[in-house]
Amino acid sequence: MTLPDEELIARAQRDDPWAIEEFVCRYQQKAYAIAYHMCSGDREEAQDLTQEAFLKVFQNIKKFRGDSSFYTWFYRIVVNTCLDGRRRRRRWERIFSLWRPGHREEEPSREVFEEQPDLVEGNNPMAFLNGKKLTQEIRKALMSLPGKQRMAFQLKVFQGMSIREIAQVMGLAEGTVKSHIFRATHSLRTVLKDWVVP
Amino acid sequence: MKPCPDHNETLWLDVYGELDPNERPAWEKHLETCEGCRQERRQMLRLLKAVKVNMPSPALSREKAGALVRSITQKLREKREEKWWRKQLWGIPNKFIPALAAASILIVVFSWFSMKGPKSPSSMVSISNLKSEEQILVKNFDIIQNLELLEEMDTLQKLVQVIDQGDVPLDTKHN
């Protein structure tokens, strides 16, 4: 019999090691998915950020009084950890780029594009190649979006959250979230026009 | 064909599944008659599908998931032990430690200077600080420096004696 989430949280607040372990097992895949999409598809970094987010959650779990939804609170921590991690990474990249010979200001920051598992497109090699190319185009387009637009879009499309939930997680007004998603969709549509228009 | 600009937001909300149920019948009615909106809706749905299909959310393997759980519980245990240790040691919060360290360094530096006192620029050495032999040497040096004055004093003393001798009463001379 699985323990209800509320009971699990209450036990985790009392430092119950079993409840903490069970909580991590239940939510690590979701947290990892958010981190993975946020940190440019770098699996190692996504794992580190997931771990950092869970540590923050358990360090502050006693402060959670149940005024808001626990999942909003939890995802907010995950999202903020990812945004902090991304900021930190950019800062380091900027520092190291100063020491690199032949450094140019306009050079775009290096983003990690790890290979996804190969997509199976039947036995058609052309379809397979097209699929790979489209994946790369989508990644590039997503990476070119500003941080908040990308986050709002990813939470909507990949995590299936409602606009209200995204607003609570990101600490923004619903109208702002709508605007972020709308702009992100518009940018993606422009970039991926050739793939979308038949 | 272009979509109707008036229905842009409705179309967008519909594609994202956020359209108000009360607005849906009117929107569906509009879609039946408007080819531009229908086409735009199809393209938007195709775009979102392409993004979802080509960017799947990865899953942690069983080994990695287990390793993550172990790592988190281990770190939490370490933090708890560290907290306990810190409570034993004055219970000082983490953020105050650098400030306390800086303050104690300043105290040490100031007390060092206040004990030593500032050095005078002339760096004159007082006689009391010297050893006895050095003290004698310094005294002798004083005598040598004042030798001329002593010689002059000796001359003056002789002169006074001569004058004193010259001041003999006249009547005794005559006698």
Q: What is the pLDDT of residues A97-106, one digit of tens each?
A: 766 655 554 4
Q: What is the pLDDT of residue B78?
A: 83
* Residue A186 to residues A118, A149, A190, B4, B154, Cα–Cα distance (Å): 28, 11, 6, 16, 116
Between B64 and B173, where is the model more confident? B64
Q: What is the pLDDT of residue A109?
A: 44
Tell me the C-alpha distance between B161 and B139, whole Å: 30
Is residue A12 within 8 Å of A23, Cβ to Cβ? yes
B-chain CB neighbours of A17 within 8 Å are: 73
Min Cα distance B51 → chain A (Å) is 7
Cα–Cα dist A127/A125, whole Å = 5
Asked if A152 contacts A177 with a C-beta cutoff of 8 angstroms, the reply is yes
Least confident of A2-6, A72-76, A83-87, B82-86: B82-86
Supply the pLDDT for residue A43: 84
Pairs of CB atoms within 8 A across A/B: 92
- Select from A15, A27, A32, A130 the residue whose CB has the most chain B CBs within 10 Å, as the one to mutate to test that interface: A32
Whether residue A87 has pLDDT greater than 90: no
Range B112-131 average pLDDT: 62
Residue of B nearest to A138 (CA): B51
A132 contacts A115 by C-beta, under 8 angstroms: no
Neighbours of A122 (CB within 10 A): 7
How many whole angstroms separate alpha carbon A115 and alpha carbon A132?
A: 10
pLDDT above 50: residue A110: no
Q: Which of A32, A43, A138 sits opposite B54 (nearest CB)?
A: A138
What is the C-alpha to C-alpha distance for residues B98 and B95, in angstroms, rounded to an integer? Answer: 7
- Kindly list the residues from chain B whose CB atom is less than 8 angstroms away from the CB atom of residue A28: 60, 65, 68-69
Q: Are B127 and B138 in contact (CB under 8 A)?
A: yes
Q: Does B65 touch chain A (CB under 8 A)?
A: yes
Tell how many helices (H) and how many strands (E) occur in chain B.
8, 0
Q: What are phi and psi of A100, to 5 degrees?
A: -75, 135
Q: How many CB atoms lie within 10 A of CB B65?
A: 17
User: What is the Rg, in whole angstroms, of the alpha carbon atoms belonging to chain B?
Assistant: 53
Query: Which comes out higher in pLDDT, residue B88 or B76?
Result: B76
Contact B65 A182 (CB under 8 A): no
Contact B58 A58 (CB under 8 A): no
Tell me how far the alpha carbon of residue A171 is from its chain's centroid: 16
Per-residue model confidence as pLDDT tens digits over B142-169: 777 777 777 788 888 888 888 887 665 5
Longest dimension (CA), chain B: 169
Look at residue A166 in the predicted model and tell me its pLDDT.
93
For residue A175, what pLDDT band results from cuts at 50, 70 and 90?
very high
Q: Is the pLDDT of residue A196 over 60?
A: yes
pLDDT tier at B90 (50, 70, 90 boundaries)?
Answer: low
B45 shares contact with chain A (CB less than 8 Å): no
Best A81, A138, A193 residue to mutate vs chain B (most B CBs within 10 Å): A138
Interface subset of A 52-81, CB within 8 angstroms of B = 54-55, 58-59
What residue of A is the nearest CA neighbor of B39?
A197
Provide the pLDDT for residue A178. 93
Query: Six-digit token pair at A80?
Result: 């903020």
Contacts of B64 in chain A (CB under 8 A): 47
Whole-angstrom Cα distance, residue B160 to residue A37?
115
Mean of pLDDT values over A137-161: 89
Find, among A60, A80, A55, the residue nearest to A70 by Cα: A60
Q: CA torsion B166→B170→B171→B173, rounded to 10°?
A: 50
Q: Which has the closest alpha carbon to A57: A75, A34, A32, A38?
A: A75
